[in-house]
A and B are shown apart, each in its own frame.
Chain A
Amino acid sequence: MYSTHNRPLSVHQNQEYNPRRYSNNNFNKNNSHNNGSVNSRSRRKDEYDPSKSYPSYDYSLPLIQQQHYFRSLRGQPNDFSNQYIHNGQFPTDHIPNIESSVEGYPKLKKLLDLKEKKNSEHFTQPLGCRVAPEKMVQVLIQWIYKHNLVFDTIMIGSLTENQQVLPILNQIPLEKLAIRPGFLYIWGSSHKLNELTNSIQGSGSMHNSWSKHFRRSEELVFTKNVESDGSYKVEDDDSSILTRKQWHCSMCITGTVKRDADGHLVHCNINPDLKVEDDDEESNPSSVPDSMYKVAENFASGNRRLHIIPSRTGLNTPVKLRRGWVIMSPDVLLDNFDPEQYKKDITRLGHNVSQDAEIEMLRPKSPDWKGKH
């Protein structure tokens, strides 16, 4: 016996149903552009009519009409999702500007190069602070209350599944660790997204102090074009309806910052909110890809940057040190961080990346900056 179930099914009461009669022709009948209209008067019956709509690909139609459908797609005939079903190539694999997202935009490329150079002038040396996950809260609280340390940019978590991000979020007075205005980046796989969102909203059981001070401002997405067993793999569970491929990074802001007036603090619209990485890119991946550190560096000019990785990240994605960042992790190679020395270093380097006339000229000032041309 076949199992019965309550999947809603088509109700076919009309026995003379002919799909072709109803699917396209009927649609066109209701479309005001048809017979008699100016456009189609001179056209032969089979000819392509750009004013017509071809709502979906119907392989049961005659070939000539299928050709018309593809013409109506205006040079975008490909369906990457369909292609994935038939040959397993990821939709993101077809993006030509994966390696250099600013391809074709020399101004933007120059801007990115200048930014990178300028940022690096203010970088501290790579700093590591090796702490066991269960000790992290204690150490951070010491930094806050004993050493009065503050950071401009704080990143929490990495692209690994077994993270204990929430305990850190809920136990540390992040609003005291971050200066105002300050920027927070929280990593999570698409699994953890829901509880993370609850935490950010401070809703449900997630009552915490930090969510009152930070607001979610952007949602970054990272994905890697790689089959399931590589690094940055998102684990699937029974609840998934689609195969999970996304890593999310929520960007939160505390304090007031104005995008047009606070150019010394933030440079907006430098990087996109999506990063696709190719399989062969970065042969030895780290717990957080370099490109994502760069997004944070390019956005906020503050030189004090802290990255907390509250879990072991495994051999596939080891913790890599990065200039300009203090990295706290149980696995970090260097353990050279000294809070008092750090304060001195920062005073010497300056709290913010200095202004640069050329960058000021090139950087986008309003969301529609190119629209002015």
Chain B
Amino acid sequence: MLSSLVSFLLHSHHIITSNEKSVFETYYMFQDYNKVNDKVPPKDLENYLELLFQIKQISQTVIWFKPNSLNELYDELSVTNTDIQEDKTRLVRMKLDNYKFDIINVLELNILDQILHPSSNINKIDMSLNDCPTTKTSLNDFDSIMEFLEKPVSKKFRILNSTPSPAPATMNEILSLDYEIITTNLLEFETAGNQLNKEIIPKITPKRPFLETCTDESHAVQMARISKFECERDSYNKMKTVNKSYNRKDKHFQNDYLNITHNIDQKMYNKFPHDMRSCFEKKIHFIPYYKTSRKTANNNNNKAPFTNAYAGVNTDMSIGDCSYLDTCFKWDDCKYVHYYTCYPTSELDKQLVECQEFNKGIMKNNKIRTFYWHEPSGYNIRNELPAQWVKCDIYNINMSIFGKFGAIIVDPAWSIHMELQFQQIEDHKIISTPVQPLQDEGIIILWVTGRSYEVGKKCLETWGYEYVQELVWTKTNQLNRTICTGRTGHWLNHSKEHAIIGMKGRPQWLNRKIDVDLIVASAREASRKPDELYGIVERVVGPHCRKMELFGRQHNTRSGWFTIGDQIQDVNIYEEEVKRKYQKWLGRR
């Protein structure tokens, strides 16, 4: 009888809600409906009411009444203590006359109808799929629809039976299905596309080795006790000469030039407890070292941790870490503590093999994308483009020769009114960058500095982009810590940088919400941005999409990317069409 009520409501919901029929009126409509369709009508009004209440019990949101909810009415009626049947019926009638149908949720009713009439469901599919064998599809299809509708709200939902089963006949059976139909929170709704993306992207993103950092401080201290560091005098002098030619602000990694060798007293190391040794083989450790000046070392019978001691100053352990750590440019005169990164190469090699195993599967997983809603066919037979770059003056080249790109990174040298080794560009010139021809639709990422924040937004507007959101890069130091000492900030210490993301057109093919809007990565040479961004962009637009970087330098060249700028060397174009156009442009000049 419940099923006939559902069919009735589906059949005449339009009349009911548009005329604000009362519960009482619909009772008679329902009676008529049953007569016409040869179905058993409800015994009496109370019986009808109970049916409505049952529907409400399955889902609170199927029918809405005004002025009150049906539950209240039901409660009200059940506490009325009249034994005289006539009185009770009259009372019910009176109340029901004032109860009007407000909203009928047709979508939910349909779902309910399909649960109650699995056979009618089969019929529908029969019609739509013509010759397909349908007997085993019905509930599977229905399951997936239901799951799709249900997922965002509650994870409780499951209809486990994969084979068609008879329709749930009783109330208990329906309730035992244990599901709540979509109720609220459409804001949180995650589209099926997103869910699919979240599933597929990890399968086609190359895995990289990941080395954990040891959190047990005593390990590093123990290691420091048995360590001797050596520093080639030559490389130290080399660093000095190299550093002289650089501006103070340009911090190069001293370890590269300093070439510190780490020697361990193997005998002592073997005495370490087993778990400590295995920790050294698995995790990254930062070994504090203290420098001893040559003078002090001679006095102490050369027991300095540096075998060839320095003319510089002693390390003072009590004053804490150096702000610059491995980027310290006055290493010999710095009293603060520096660290040697001791990282487990064997563990890295082991993980590389594991990763390679995983990465072999990427080609296979990529084939899934051929059947994917927004991917081009033949996805998996294409190769990623090699790195391409052109040294050019962005303001003097015809940008249209490069073709169209799905993603653009712009990292201009915003002028910060300070002397830097590289040239800076004035704001108005950056705004006038001819970005327009490079993109029809897609995304742009523009690195800004604190001062150029507002100008950056103006740039996006001028170039034809809509501001979407911001990406924050948390800069870390050698020890992975956020930078908290006074370095750059005017009022507060700056420990992050911002990039603003803009969008052009309405690209439907973006893989959204795969990554978070935060990058944590170490700071490198001045103004060099983290490589993590490339991975993020590649996931958003797909690895085969053409991607461009403006104002790039040599270290920004990367396969899949086209880098242009005047800080780059030479020209390396792989795509024939671009090559032709570029040569034509050169000739015309």
Contacts and interface: CB of A to CB of B under 8 A. Distances in A.
A97 interface: yes
Contact of B356 (A59, A75, A81, A82): A59
Nearest to A235: B187
Interface stretch (B39-47, B104-112, B171-179, B492-500): B492-500
Nearest to B329: A371
B240 interface: no
Contacts of A216: 453-454
Contact of A5 (B211, B509, B556): B509
A41 B386 CA distance: 28
Describe A's contact surface by its main secondary structure. Answer: loop
Contacts of B382: 9-10, 12
Interface in B454-511: 454, 457, 467-472, 474, 476, 478-496, 498, 501, 503, 507-510
Residue of A237, A240, A272 with most partner-chain B CB within 10 A: A272
B534 A56 contact: yes
A91 B210 CA distance: 13
Contact of B348 (A59, A77, A271): A77
B35 interface: no
Contacts of B539: 85
B387 A23 contact: yes
A186 interface: no
A77 B513 contact: no
B343 interface: yes
B386 A22 contact: yes
Contacts of B356: 59, 63, 66
B535 A55 contact: no
A53 B481 CA distance: 26
Interface stretch (B133-141, B223-231, B393-401, B437-445): B437-445
A239 interface: yes
Interface stretch (B71-79, B93-101, B427-435, B516-524): B516-524
Interface string A39-82: 00000000000100101111100010011001000111111111
B21 interface: no
Q: Which of B403, B405, B575 has the most CB of A within 10 A?
A: B575
B4 interface: no
A240 B512 contact: yes
A91 B516 contact: yes
A243 B205 contact: no
Contact of B515 (A74, A85, A239, A271): A85
Contacts of A207: none
B332 to A, nearest CB: 12
Of A22, A101, A104, A369, most buried by chain B (CB within 10 Å of CB) is A104
A63 B353 contact: yes
Contacts of A270: 492-493
A241 B512 contact: yes
B536 A218 contact: no
A36 interface: no
A190 B482 contact: no
A113 interface: no
B115 interface: no
User: Which 4 pairs between the two chains have the least Cβ-Cβ distance?
Assistant: A22-B386, A75-B341, A269-B486, A104-B321
Given A63-B353, A106-B318, A367-B487, 15 more contacts: A9-B546, A17-B383, A53-B555, A74-B341, A86-B207, A108-B485, A190-B517, A197-B454, A216-B454, A242-B469, A243-B517, A248-B470, A271-B492, A274-B474, A373-B333
Interface of B: 187-188, 201-202, 205-211, 213, 215, 248, 253, 255-256, 284, 318-321, 323-324, 326, 330, 333-337, 341, 343, 345, 348-349, 352-353, 355-356, 359, 373-377, 382-387, 403-406, 440-443, 450, 453-454, 457, 467-472, 474, 476, 478-496, 498, 501, 503, 507-510, 512-522, 531-532, 534-536, 539-542, 544-546, 554-559, 569-570, 572, 574-578
5 contacts: A12-B382, A56-B531, A56-B559, A91-B474, A105-B484
